[in-house]
Structure 1
Amino acid sequence: QFFVRPGGWWPRPFCVTWPLQVKGHKPKPKVEKQEVEIKQRMTVEELARAMDRDFDHVVESLLNTSLDIDRLEPDSVLDQTWIKEVVSRSGMKPRWAKLSEPRQRPNKDATRRPPADPALLRPRPPVVTIMGHVSHGKTTLLDSLRASQLVSAEAGGITQHIGAFLVRLPSGESMTVLDTPGHAAFSCLRARGASATDIVVLVVAADDGVMEQTVESIRHARNAGVPMIVAVNKCDKPQADPERVKRELLSHNVICEEYGGDVQAVHLSALKGEGLVQLTEAVVTLAEVLELKAEVDGLMEGVVIESRTDKGKGPVSTALVQRGALRKGAVLVSGRTWAKVRFMFDENGSVLNRAGPSRAVQVCGWRELPSAGEGILEVESEHRAREVVAYRQHLDEQQRLGEEQKTIAANQEAHLQQYRLQRAELAHLSWRHALYQKNKEAFASRPRERDTDQSTPRLGVVVKGDVDGSVETLLNVLDSYDAQHQCELNLIHFGTGDISETDVSLAHTFSGSVYGFNVSVARSVQQVALQKGVPLRLHSVIYKLIEELKQELSQKLPPETLQTVLGKSQSKPGLNQD
């Protein structure tokens, strides 16, 4: 069968079969490649798990490709091109996963009921919001209406957050009054008060006239579609000029009845109690025109006016009942939390068992602190409440995932564009020269980044407030800070309640300060802060807190040398004595 030729054994020419079949030898069966189920987009960790490999294997499979493997992390997302490349280089076969319709989660949300039968509606008291500029006498007016001492209870005579009170009129009728702050920092609270009210009483001082927060209050009332009554306060002062106030309001499209409009204007002195009868009559008259009615029975619907954490009661909210009746033991849902009403209190601390429409009450029994401005709905049971909260949390999670996917895609596109630009710049160089240039840029950038970080002053703050609305206001103040290039302002932590050792520890870790608004500090916490050198800055008036924050930021800035020209002189040649 074989003969010898130079270079090895060769078969004879007449040999038909090649190669020779050895007796008992079977050909190897064809090896099927392992299939890997892939999707359009997968993270590196998901791809490694699908291939039954580790993270390093995926990275090694992407060597010598245009993908920047130095930036790869386990949660980095790969598109289908790179997924197929990794699977192919691993000796496997990609197989697309079957696209199945995503299982829609049934809608378990709770919504407001449809409008009730008009025959079931009953008249209800009006909800009145007192708005206006800071120190124009809003709380003094409410003090006169209630014949109490609200002004003395508020620090600095300035209302710090919304107060909701039931005012009984001499005529026997009643109205719920929301007292909103007038300071510039409390714009969000004024907007919330206007959206939950029937009538806005715009307080304008007769001596000051229309001011900044007056215009803002007008805008909030107009955006909410709420009618207004102008209360010209401080008419007892010698420099008072009520007619000037009405003329100034004309420029803001607030036309009083004396000038042919439909806005009632009442002259009063809240401090002396003058004109209060006329004001209440104006409110009652406007309420009759509006024909305010509501369903007095059925499941309760309302809104969170304010919320806070009480030391003995836990999370407490001030709730305004808008429809139905709120009773002790009712199960409520607000936003992403729920409550079973354990206790209800009025503005004087008296226990209530029932609250009808237009009544503001303090509710105890929340699992977590509800957000101010959120709606409140009563549901049938605790199981139903948990179901609603779980569904709303699911919607939030889906929205968050969608936003994260968009952010990841945008970052990947930006990195890819940057990589392509770098490749284009180094394309004309040899590989040694390109590697040298890349390493040179990387090492040269490190000292500059370190120097910049050291040279930029920083201030970290921990913010604690008594109620949710106060913290919201302080966060808005911090958001308005626009000098990060001069001194970085970092928010370390925020929340409601008294200052704790955890707050002090956080501030110490980041070399920051703790700012408290209407909160207290235990003696043990003060000792910890003193030992760690953490400043505790407590305030009960908002503008004083803002001023101290500005002062601390200014102290962080490096000193600047300023030259002040005190005078100028000109030298002339002296006289010739000869």
Structure 2
Amino acid sequence: MTDTKSGDDKTLSVNPKKTLTLKRPSVEQGTVRQNFSHGRSKSVVVETKKRKFSRPDEPVAAAPVAPAPAPKPRPQVTPQPQSNVRERPRQPQPDRSGVVLNDLSKGEMEARRRALQDSKVREAEERQRAVEEAKRRAEEEERRQREREESARRQAEEEERLKAEAEARARAEEEAQRRAPSAPEKAEEPTAQPPKRAATQAGEDDDDEGKPKSKGLPVKRVAPTKVDPARPAKTRGDDQRRRGKLTLNTALSDDGEARGRSLSSMRRRQEKFRRAQHQEQREKIAREVILPETITIQELAQRMTERAVDVIKFFMKQGQMLKPGDVIDADTAELVANEFGHTVKRVAESDVEEGLFDIQDKAEDLKGRPPVVTIMGHVDHGKTSLLDAIRQANVVSGEAGGITQHIGAYQVEQDGQTITFIDTPGHAAFTAMRARGAEATDIAILVVAADDSVMPQTIESINHAKAAGVPIIVAINKIDKPEANAQKVRTELLQHEVFVESMGGDVLDVEVSATKKLNLDKLLEAILLQSEVLELKANPDRTAEGVVIEAKLDRGRGSVATVLVQTGTLKTGDIIVAGNEWGRVRALVNDRGEQVKEAPPSMPVEILGLQGPPQAGDRFAVVENEARAREISEYRQRLAREKSVARQAGQRGSLEQMMTQLQSSGLKEFPLIIKGDVQGSIEAIAGALEKLGNDEVQARIVHSGAGAITESDVSLAETSGAAIIGFNVRANKQARDASEAAGIEIRYYNIIYDLVDDIKAAMSGLLSPERRETFLGNAEILEVFNVSKVGKVAGCRVTEGKVERGAGVRLIRDNVVIHEGKLKTLKRFKDEVSEVPAGQECGMAFENYEDIRAGDVIEAFRVEHVTRTL
């Protein structure tokens, strides 16, 4: 059995197996919050060891010990009432000094009580002294505050006095200058400190703010805030900022609640203040900001020499949340730049091409150049044969079927002078190429066959030459033929406003024969005479400009462009931009296949080294470095992509629009992939195929390019369901294998006539056959009979034409068609007949229709489906 009795801090335990003991806790615990700098705090566990007191009636085992000098007050322990349980004898307890006390007398207890009272008195006196010390510190702080206010007031008065003296001195000087205007001006005495001294004094003010300044520029000071004297202010001196170790007394005192600034914090605050002062004093610089069509916020801030954060804050004030990498347009960027106090210069992306073409040359730098002559005319009128005769070379044998497919450029010597010839195809498909040839030329030779006279392409050539504003020389060819009639040619040219000299005009005409080489010298002399009249000049000592005559992709040499240098001198190593492509000139090849170092004006050369083949007719120019060439090329390629995307988007539309268009218009497309040897031929083929289409069927070129047919072309054809056309090119082995596996046919051509005819026939197969109706005759219903197992049969008389079995019929009642169908039976008496002529009677029954009456008219007709062609 266990019995427990609790008293004040004592526990009495009764156990039958153990002796009776009296327990008392000897250690008490508490927590104290400890504060550190930067707002940190920590809870500290504090242990307090209590002294145990003995009862007065217990015997004393040792001499009394003197009390401690200043013991802290402790709660008095009241003796517990006697328990009826027998207690064991208590063991001697040691005090703080280690002396064992067994019992205390009444005198000793009284001494300890007095010592306790004395300690309470001393604590009260210490509290009184602390209150007096706090009051004294408050009064001291108030006195210092009054001294600071008085010092600030005196300094403000001193500043006002100095300002008044300066104003009075300035008024006196103005008065003196007004009274003696003719007197020589004297050097003004400095009325204020120089700026450097002012800046020095400003720096001294930053270092020593407490000292009043009596010299230098007046400094504006902020009025000090007044302190309530009833509320004592807490001061922190250097000793508190460097107070070091935190003790238990300082942690428990009230003054420790206010946390002081660290030295690093004070340094950061002073540095920030100095930086702010420096920024305020910095003078704002207004700059001219160049703005493209679009710009990022980061780039705009750099061009304004502003912080990107400030620009972002400006947008935030406007209610827009943007990032430095966001792109804004030129109008928004101009508003931002004006808001920051800068001026704006707007530029467009196309400005990268400024100064590329049409550079003005000085008159003294211009020198004579050879004429550029274009040979134009109708197909098979002998243009290439004439050039062949002039060049003394066999050019025509290399052409397929004797037809020129490309633009050729050659140079010819005559009497020590050079003439550049450009041979253009005469076929109608090469109209665009012929137009480009006219633009790049100085003189146009119009070749007209004396036996054929003026033909359609001859008229086109005249129009192109007139549009380009170049003079014409008429070469009447094939005069050696018996049926040649040169006068008929001259007469027919009058209808197209070409007035030759023999007919009273100003156009030179020469009768020549390319096969017999007659009068070729006269033709060359006429060219040189015309060039002297034109006074052709160019500046050879500048960067080259010109036009691309032809371009192709050569397997061994890469991109090859045939160009005509119009001004300047093109040299090996120059960086050129031609259309969307750019490159460094690796080699220059003339018309005889020889490599040359440079090409002067009016010289045609082949250029090697371009990134890709340009379009025929593109202009080229030399630029100073690769960076600009790449920039111009990328700008032009981006424009071409945007135009292509916009055009495809306009053509493609949504799927629903495509289906609606197909249902409404019934337009069928014939997809093609065209690969040619040169760009000019591809363009001519594309132009010819565009003219083939009509409202029902149309050719669509999925892809076109210069070069051989590759495996990727076959893959594209398989995807798009297109046919592959090769013009003067062949497919490699991989492309052939892929086409056989995919079942795609590759058609090869070397004459444009055959290509256009085949495509025309293939497209005609897509046309729906034409429905053609032929009238046969009319019959009038005389009587209607009901026949079993047959239905109603009309007894008719054929009044016009004839009626055939199986023909289409219309039932007309009161001149209105009420039924259209086919005849089921056609009988003459009881026999089935194939036809009934006019004037005879017959019996007719309709398929799936029996609403027939006497007096109705039956019209018979035949329907034929005729195959259509383009």
Q: Same fold (TM over 0.5)?
A: yes
* Matching residue of 1:426: none
Amino acid at match of 2:493: L
* Matching residue of 2:367: 122
- State how far apart, in whole Å, the 1-side matches of 2:628 and 2:662 are: 57
Note the 1:175-574 alignment, pairs <5 A.
Answer: 175-393=419-637, 452=663, 458-485=669-696, 487-559=697-769
The 3-state SS of whatever aligns with 1:305 is strand
Closer/same/farther in 2, CA of residues 342 and 203 from structure 1, 3 Å limit: same
Task: State the Cα distance separating 1:101 from its structure 2 match.
Answer: 3.4
After alignment, is 266-275 or 96-105 more displaced? 96-105
Closer/same/farther in 2, CA of residues 407 and 521 from structure 1, 3 Å limit: closer
- State how far apart, in whole Å, the 1-side matches of 2:769 and 2:642 are: 49
* Matching residue of 1:101: 333
Task: State the Cα distance separating 1:335 from its structure 2 match.
Answer: 2.2
- State how far apart, in whole Å, the 1-side matches of 2:570 and 2:661 are: 60
The 3-state SS of whatever aligns with 1:130 is strand
CA deviations over 1:359-416 (Å, ceiling 9, x no partner)? 0000000012212111111111212212333444566678889x79x989xx9xxx9x
- State how far apart, in whole Å, the 2-side matches of 1:464 and 1:125 are: 36
Note the 1:51-130 alignment, pairs <5 A.
Answer: 95=319, 100-101=332-333, 104=347, 107-109=351-353, 110-130=355-375
- Maintained 8 Å contact 2:356/2:623: no
Task: State the Cα distance separating 1:224 from its structure 2 match.
Answer: 0.5
CA deviations over 1:221-249 (Å, ceiling 9, x no partner)? 00000000000000011110000000000
The 3-state SS of whatever aligns with 2:454 is coil
Task: State the Cα distance separating 1:528 from its structure 2 match.
Answer: 2.3
1:147 is aligned to 2:392: yes
Amino acid at match of 1:540: N
Structure 2 unmatched ranges of 5 or more: 1-317, 322-327, 335-345, 777-799, 803-836, 841-870
- State how far apart, in whole Å, the 2-side matches of 1:511 and 1:350 are: 44
- State how far apart, in whole Å, the 2-side matches of 1:454 and 1:215 are: 36
The 3-state SS of whatever aligns with 2:761 is helix
Amino acid at match of 2:571: R
- Maintained 8 Å contact 2:690/2:698: no
Task: State the Cα distance separating 1:108 from its structure 2 match.
Answer: 2.4
Task: State the Cα distance separating 1:174 from its structure 2 match.
Answer: 1.4
Amino acid at match of 1:285: L
Q: Percent identity?
A: 42
- Maintained 8 Å contact 2:667/2:695: no
The 3-state SS of whatever aligns with 2:352 is coil
- State how far apart, in whole Å, the 1-side matches of 2:709 and 2:332 are: 51
The 3-state SS of whatever aligns with 1:134 is coil
The 3-state SS of whatever aligns with 1:480 is helix
- State how far apart, in whole Å, the 1-side matches of 2:548 and 2:362 are: 26
Closer/same/farther in 2, CA of residues 327 and 271 from structure 1, 3 Å limit: same
Structure 1 unmatched ranges of 5 or more: 1-93, 416-444
After alignment, is 295-304 or 379-388 more displaced? 379-388
- State how far apart, in whole Å, the 1-side matches of 2:707 and 2:352 are: 33
After alignment, is 337-346 or 526-535 more displaced? 526-535
Closer/same/farther in 2, CA of residues 172 and 572 from structure 1, 3 Å limit: same
- State how far apart, in whole Å, the 2-side matches of 1:530 and 1:457 are: 26
Task: State the Cα distance separating 1:317 from its structure 2 match.
Answer: 0.5
- State how far apart, in whole Å, the 2-side matches of 1:550 and 1:214 are: 25
Closer/same/farther in 2, CA of residues 510 and 351 from structure 1, 3 Å limit: same
Task: State the Cα distance separating 1:532 from its structure 2 match.
Answer: 1.8
- Maintained 8 Å contact 2:689/2:756: no
Closer/same/farther in 2, CA of residues 131 and 105 from structure 1, 3 Å limit: closer
Closer/same/farther in 2, CA of residues 330 and 205 from structure 1, 3 Å limit: same
The 3-state SS of whatever aligns with 1:108 is helix
- State how far apart, in whole Å, the 2-side matches of 1:539 and 1:398 are: 33
Residue from 352, 366, 382 that aligns with 1:137? 382
Given the two structures, how large is their TM-score scaled by the length of structure 1? Answer: 0.70
Task: State the Cα distance separating 1:533 from its structure 2 match.
Answer: 1.6
- State how far apart, in whole Å, the 2-side matches of 1:451 and 1:196 are: 43
- State how far apart, in whole Å, the 2-side matches of 1:226 and 1:514 are: 40
Q: Which has the higher contact order (CA 8 A, sep 6+)?
A: 1
- State how far apart, in whole Å, the 1-side matches of 2:466 and 2:738 are: 50
Amino acid at match of 1:125: P
The 3-state SS of whatever aligns with 1:344 is strand
* Paired residue total: 441
- State how far apart, in whole Å, the 2-side matches of 1:273 and 1:222 are: 29
* Matching residue of 1:55: none
- State how far apart, in whole Å, the 2-side matches of 1:559 and 1:400 are: 35
- State how far apart, in whole Å, the 2-side matches of 1:195 and 1:488 are: 31
- State how far apart, in whole Å, the 1-side matches of 2:675 and 2:561 are: 18
- State how far apart, in whole Å, the 1-side matches of 2:347 and 2:734 are: 52
Closer/same/farther in 2, CA of residues 101 and 399 from structure 1, 3 Å limit: farther
Amino acid at match of 1:100: T
- Maintained 8 Å contact 2:710/2:734: no
Task: State the Cα distance separating 1:115 from its structure 2 match.
Answer: 2.7
Closer/same/farther in 2, CA of residues 206 and 488 from structure 1, 3 Å limit: closer
The 3-state SS of whatever aligns with 2:333 is coil
- Maintained 8 Å contact 2:401/2:751: yes
Task: State the Cα distance separating 1:457 from its structure 2 match.
Answer: 5.5
- State how far apart, in whole Å, the 2-side matches of 1:183 and 1:207 are: 18
Amino acid at match of 2:744: V
* Matching residue of 1:441: none
Amino acid at match of 1:306: E
* Matching residue of 1:77: none
The 3-state SS of whatever aligns with 2:373 is strand
Task: State the Cα distance separating 1:291 from its structure 2 match.
Answer: 1.0
Task: State the Cα distance separating 1:529 from its structure 2 match.
Answer: 1.6
CA deviations over 1:486-510 (Å, ceiling 9, x no partner)? x353322111111111112222223
Amino acid at match of 1:308: K
